[in-house]
């Protein structure tokens, strides 16, 4: 197996007993919901090829949340759920979401992809790499079943690692890469890959979150998403759509200084339904200059 690329988290979009949750058992294509709490942390097989369904722990609607994909730190008092990069450690006693950049390369990891899997990098008609200029990340090519299968071996291994590390859920980022693909990727391509990742996560005992893009909300059941992680849903008037689709199981991040909607307005509108947090754009660890965090 190839060495995994270095995980750099300088981007946005980057279980304790008594935790009130829903239990999901994945059986084939169906998801059955119960009322009890799964006991113990979800496990992951050493083979990296899960073959059977496992119990999946869902987040509780409205639980206080912190977005720590730029580097883990001691969660503030009251926090019950955090999202951290897959290379970070989960926070003891909390509901932990594992950040995985599933549809684009991480900053600093391009050389690994070029050396080991150059055919999985999306290119234009001239053979030039198609790049998300906002974050200097190359898009991964989900356009064929063969490429999606090869990508699933890599990203699926990262998801296995999330389970083995003790996370309860995973958020595969850049589901909306088709919007930046110069027409070479479609919603169908990314939805198909997301469905494969959802099956892998569920087999590992992990819940899986839809990261952004309301374009795929009407497919969330078919894909297998269990909750949502959204950025700036208040700014784009999308919080209601996510809340309705996921029964308020939504982790929503707004960014300091971005957009026209004040965070207090967002809290007034949605703070009693979903988990809202205000962060600095670089999601810096606490104590670093520029760190911002507020909740409703």
The pLDDT score that the predictor gives to residue 48 is 33
Q: What percent of the chain has pLDDT over 90?
A: 78
Q: What is residue 259's predicted lDDT score, i.e. its pLDDT?
A: 83
Give 106-154 pLDDT, tens digit per residue: 988 999 999 999 999 999 999 999 999 988 999 999 999 999 999 999 9
Q: How confident is the model at residue 2 (pLDDT cuts 50, 70, 90)?
A: very low
The pLDDT score that the predictor gives to residue 206 is 98
Mean pLDDT of 44-63: 64
pLDDT value of residue 258: 86
State the SS3 of the chain.
CCCCCCCCCCCCCCCCCCCCCCEEEEECCEEEEECCCCCCCCCCCCCCCCCCCCEEECCCCCCCEEECCCCCCCCCCCCCEEEEECCCCCCCCCEEEEEEECCECCCCCHHHHHHHCHHHECECCCCCECEECCCCEEEECCCCHHHHHHHHHHHHHHHHHHHHHCCCEEEEECCCHHHHCCCCCCHHHHHHHHHHHHHHHHHCCCEEEEECCHHHHHHHHHHCCCEEEEECCCCCCCHHHHHHHCCCCEEEEEECCCCCCCHHHHHHHHCCCCEEEEECCCCCCCCCCCCCEEEC
Q: Which of the two residues, 284 and 24, has the higher pLDDT score?
A: 284
At residue 114, the pLDDT reads: 97
**Among 27-31, 94-98, 101-105, which is the least confidently predicted range?**
27-31
Tell me: pLDDT of 220 over 80: yes
Q: What is the pLDDT of residue 54?
A: 62
24 pLDDT band, cuts 50/70/90, is very low
Q: Is the pLDDT of residue 43 over 80?
A: no
Share of residues in the chain with pLDDT > 70 (%)? 82
The predicted pLDDT at position 107 comes to 87
- Does position 27 have pLDDT exceeding 50, yes or no? no
**pLDDT number for residue 62:** 97
Reported as a single tens digit per residue, the pLDDT across 250-272 is 999 999 998 888 999 999 999 99
């Amino acid at each position: 197996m190839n060495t995994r690329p270095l995980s750099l988290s300088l981007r946005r979009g980057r279980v304790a007993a008594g935790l009130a949750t829903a239990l999901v058992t994945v059986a084939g294509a169906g998801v059955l919901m119960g009322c009890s709490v799964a006991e113990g942390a979800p496990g992951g097989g050493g083979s990296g090829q899960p073959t059977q369904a496992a119990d999946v722990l869902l987040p509780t609607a409205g639980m206080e949340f912190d977005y720590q994909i730029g580097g883990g730190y001691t969660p503030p008092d009251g926090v019950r759920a955090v999202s951290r990069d897959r290379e970070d450690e989960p926070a003891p006693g909390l509901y932990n979401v594992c950040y995985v950049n599933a549809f684009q390369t991480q900053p600093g990891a391009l050389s690994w992809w070029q050396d080991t899997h150059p055919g999985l990098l999306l290119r234009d008609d001239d053979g030039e790499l198609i790049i998300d200029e906002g974050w200097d990340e190359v898009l991964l090519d989900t356009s064929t079943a063969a490429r999606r299968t090869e990508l699933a071996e890599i990203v699926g291994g990262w998801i296995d690692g999330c389970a083995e590390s003790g996370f309860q859920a995973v958020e595969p980022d850049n589901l909306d890469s088709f919007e930046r693909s110069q027409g070479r990727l479609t919603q169908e391509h990314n939805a198909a890959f997301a469905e494969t990742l959802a099956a892998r996560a569920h087999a590992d005992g992990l819940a899986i979150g839809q990261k952004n893009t309301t374009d795929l909300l009407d497919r969330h059941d078919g894909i297998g998403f269990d909750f949502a992680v959204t950025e700036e849903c208040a700014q784009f008037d999308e919080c209601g759509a996510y809340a309705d689709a996921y029964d308020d199981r939504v982790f929503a991040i707004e960014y300091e200084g971005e957009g026209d909607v004040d965070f207090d307005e967002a809290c007034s509108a949605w703070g009693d339904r979903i988990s809202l947090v205000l962060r600095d754009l670089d999601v810096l660890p606490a104590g670093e200059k520029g760190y911002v965090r507020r909740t409703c």
